[in-house]
Amino acid sequence: MPYARVIVDIAASAIDREFDYAVPKDYPVDAVPGLRVQVPFGPRHIEGFIVALSDTTAVPQEKIRPLGRPLEERPAILPHLMDLALWMRRRYRCLLVEALRLLIPAEMRKGRVRAKQRNQISLAVLPQDARARAEALPARFARQKQLLALLAGGADDAQVRRAMPDAMPVARALEKRGLVRIGSVRALRTPYRALEMGQDAQHVLTAEQQIAAEAIFRGMDAERGAFLLHGVTGSGKTEVYMRAVAHALEAGRSAIVLVPEIALTPQMVQRFRARFGNRAAVLHSGLSQGERFDEWQRIRAGEVSVAVGARSCVFAPFANVGLIVVDEEHETSYRAENAPRYDAVEVAERRCAAEGATLVLGSATPSVARYYRALHGDYTVLHLDHRVEDRPMPQVQVVDMRRELAAHNKSMFSRPLQQAMAETLARGEQMILFLNRRGFATFVSCRKCGEAMTCPNCDVAMTYHSAEKTLKCHYCGAQLPVPDACPACGSKAIRYFGAGTQKVEQQLAALFPEAKLLRMDRDTTARKDAHLHILKRFAAGEAQILLGTQMVAKGLDFPNVTLVGVMAADTTLHYPDYASAERTFQLIAQVAGRAGRDVKAGRVVVQTYAPDEPPIALAARHDYQTFYAREIMQRQAGQFPPFGRFVRFLVVSAQQQRAAGQARALCKEIARVVAHDTHLASQVLLLAWMPAMLSRLEGRFRYQVLLKMLPDARNDALIDAAHACLNDALFDGCSITMEVDAQHMV
């Protein structure tokens, strides 16, 4: 086939199409779809992906140019992943090249990272001959004699390097004599060296685990099936995942395991590494470039069969996936924040369907929309209703902070929490204190006029950091000293509101001066692997208290933790988001699940100003079913997902007028197109433009256009029509992005 259709690696809608090139007769590798190649493009040479081959071309012969050199020996993108990219282009209305870029490590592009090579020295002659030649060498070649003796004695690479750190020049001299060979081997950069393999404890499955595992096995044997594993915290979901992975490996297939945020779940990785050893690779964005590249290569080369990783791991280049597991499927981190705004759970679902693999979604608090789909037959629900070994669910006590205030307790710690902490410390056990960061950080305002100190670039309050005595913006990173006087009215009465982790830390030190504390938040975890070290120290018992933000809410499993304190449960409740009740329920249920996971019983204290709010009261009772029943009714009444869908366009510009004007123009254009088609019009529930909740960010103004529609299959026509309204005239110096099935309206 003489022509290759190539997508060039430039993200611009104007060139989001295939260009034809002639495949030279003597091309050094097989020119197949998925191969990355260099191609002449205008006056330049740029990188591109072959997406198809063809015998014919519409381009006139004199204009056809030949392919440039291949960038790899074998195609970086497997055929089924090429199909996946085409599906993503359609599903997320992104450029094909944007989808293709997700399929390879970013550093592979433009050749920024290559495989690392290491020299390997080996004997070119038999050991006894080497010994004889060493004897025969004159005494002044002492180092050559030494190296020969080492090699003849069977020393391996590491031993040679240890005994003779500078062996290379010596080896080269011996190479000239024909006595040794210098080869080159791939040196692997292995992530998580800091993480010990640990002991694998393969448990005898409980009856519930057994039933769930067998259902999954049957699905895998039939090469299909999608399961929602609804298991309470501590019910042993991970053990079920691992059995399913083992089942895939036995069948000669591979498995992908997605976790919400891998830095926060080192224990999960540890358990997979302990059981599957070097057959498991770890992929996530916190790796160094070299590490990520090598892990990806190991998967692509078929050297490993299990990949554990965060969102992007769903693209792991396995040829033969039998299973994809998504742990904590309800987590919002599975959705990409930047274009293409893909949903890894949806991509996993699509991969499984296309590649004959089985999907397992696990959660203690399934997302309401997906649970609804499960009840309507899209997934088989499997239940783990009990903790392993009949351990009780933790006792949750809800404390009304309004009463604390009425009783003149102005501390951030209620009396029941203080008492529980004292008891826990006295018993020599550990506790986790959870501070919901959103809306709960310290901000600084004027007592006189009420003006809050906001970021000069963003429309948000700045957060006070007592250690450095500065104000920081958590969106753009801007830093300012705390002003002496109010910038609005000049008053000197500056007041500090709310509580960040640092303030809690101070109050704790005053309450329990003898207790040791570890803090885990954005400030203490900026460095690579910092999470890991904090968690390791906590596991080793170096501290009795782990204080942190959202980061401590997930997946942690410490046997000695018997108390969990939620400092303010209601901070997510009033967030302007249709799913704020769901998020509050999930957060409390998840945090509470960290207590009493081993033989010692656990206790949870939840502090709130709204103790009767259903998400809080029901999470405290571990009552998902009632929560779901209430929530789904409210969603239906308001036509929120899964009963309605949101498409959101975000319009951003440095000029407010322009952003607002383009949002209005886009809204009008969509309205005009829809009005022409009664069919489309009947699907629209709402169409409006408005400032985004975060109306200014990093100095740029943000407006949004919201299109709410019925959850009907025909909506794709409506989405297409709306997307088609995004013409170049509209952009006018603004950036406009479209998000299908948008979740947060921030």
Interacting residues toward Zn ion by CB under 5 A: 446, 448-449, 451, 455, 457-458, 473, 475-476, 478, 486, 488-489, 491
CB of 234 to ligand ADP, least distance (A): 5
Distance CA 350, CA 84 (A): 8
**How crowded is the C-beta side of 528, counted as CA atoms within 13 Å?**
11
3 state DSSP class of 219: helix
Could you say which of ligand ADP, Zn ion, none residue 231 binds, taking C-beta under 5 to 8 angstroms by partner kind? ligand ADP
Rule CB under 6 A: choose which of 238, 501, 653, 662 binds ligand ADP.
Answer: 238
> Residue 236's binding partner, choosing from ligand ADP, Zn ion, none, with beta-carbon cut-off 5 to 8 A by kind?
ligand ADP
Look at residue 129 and give the partner it binds from ligand ADP, Zn ion, none, a contact being a CB closer than 5 to 8 Å depending on partner kind: none
Query: Among residues 14 and 599, whose Cβ is nearest to ligand ADP?
Result: 599
Does position 246 interact with ligand ADP (CB under 6 A)? The reply is: no
Q: To the nearest whole angstrom, how small is the minimum distance from the Cβ of residue 363 to ligand ADP?
A: 9
The contacts of residue 124 (CB under 8 Å, 6+ apart) are 175, 178, 179, 180, 181
CB of 359 to ligand ADP, least distance (A): 18
86 binds, among Zn ion, ligand ADP, none (CB under 5 to 8 A by kind): none
Q: Which two tokens stand for residue 345?
A: 């759970």
Residues numbered 543 to 562 that lie near ligand ADP (CB under 6 A) are: 557
Mask of contacts with ligand ADP, 359-398, x by CB under 6 A? -----------------------------xx---------
Strand, coil or helix: 685: strand
- In the sheet with 494-497, reading across from the earlier edge strand, the strands are 479-481, 470-472, 463-465, 443-446, 494-497
Minimum distance from residue 484 beta carbon to Zn ion (Å): 12
- Residue 607: beta bridge partners? 399
Residues between 198 and 227 that touch ligand ADP (CB under 6 A): 201, 203-206, 209
**What is the spatial distance between Cα 387 and Cα 511, in angstroms, rounded to a whole number?**
34
Phi-psi region of 270 (alpha: psi -120 to 50; beta: other; left: phi over 0): alpha
Window 569 to 598, contacts with ligand ADP (CB under 6 A): 597
Q: Closest distance between ligand ADP and the C-beta of residue 72, in Å?
A: 39
E-only strand ranges, 364-428: 380-384, 395-400
Closest CB to ligand ADP among residues 207, 406: 207
Nearer to ligand ADP, 367 or 683 (CB): 367
Q: Which is nearer to ligand ADP, 237 or 284 (CB)?
A: 237
Nearer to Zn ion, 192 or 475 (CB): 475
36 binds ligand ADP, rule: CB under 6 A: no
Strand order in the sheet with 603-608: 395-400, 603-608, 561-566, 430-434, 545-548, 517-520
Residues 6+ away with beta carbon under 8 Å from 667? 687, 688, 689, 705
Partner from Zn ion, ligand ADP, none binding residue 48, C-beta < 5-8 Å depending on class: none
Cβ proximity to ligand ADP: between 234 and 644 the closer is 234
Q: Is the peptide bond before 340 cis (omega within 30 degrees of 0)?
A: yes
User: What angle (nearest 5°) sits at the alpha carbon of residue 689, between those of residues 338 and 636?
Assistant: 80
Name residues contacting ligand ADP, limited to 723-742 (CB under 6 A).
none
Select the residue interacting with ligand ADP from 239, 343, 355, 613 (CB under 6 A): 239
Nearer to ligand ADP, 187 or 388 (CB): 388
Contact 556, 594 (CB under 8 A): yes
Contacts of 403 (CB under 8 A, 6+ apart): none
Q: By the criterion CB under 6 A, which residues form the site for ligand ADP? A: 201, 203-206, 209, 231, 233-239, 388-389, 557, 597
